[in-house]
Structure 1
């Protein structure tokens, strides 16, 4: 993981699907867990979704709060 990946989680939006346009850090845990079960997409988006799922699963989402734009 790159430190820049954490910033991407709070600035990049989901590019497709049910939650298109939602910031990756704001995706619901059940959606992230679905990807964990079914398989993450290839490429950067899959890597970021896997990272977000791990953060969410371990209850560490609050660590992203200081990185959010406007803080």
Structure 2
């Protein structure tokens, strides 16, 4: 299943709410941290869904898709 446009726009503007990387955009989290979550288990809920999507994007080298969305759809 592919994420919808609204989900991707929200993902582009969501920051990590806690931990070592608090307040960093999810797409800008270090790859090793997202891979660690993948092996540990993603949190439940929307944050987990977003981190799972970030993992897929990073593993496939597609982070620029989210960065472009962030520029095209500024948070308003």
Distance in 1, matches of 2:58 and 2:6, equals: 18
Deviation at 1:63, TM superposition (A): 1.5
What is the TM-score with the length of structure 2 in the denominator?
A: 0.83
Moved over 4 A (4+): none
TM value normalised by structure 1: 0.88
Q: Provide the residue aligned with 1:2 in structure 2.
A: 4
Q: Which residue of 1 aligns with 2:16?
A: 14
* Equivalences, count: 71
Partner residue of 2:57?
55
Where does structure 1 lack aligned partners over 5 or more consecutive residues? none
Could you tell me which of 27, 38, 41 is aligned with 1:39?
41
The gaps in structure 2 that reach 5 residues or longer are: none
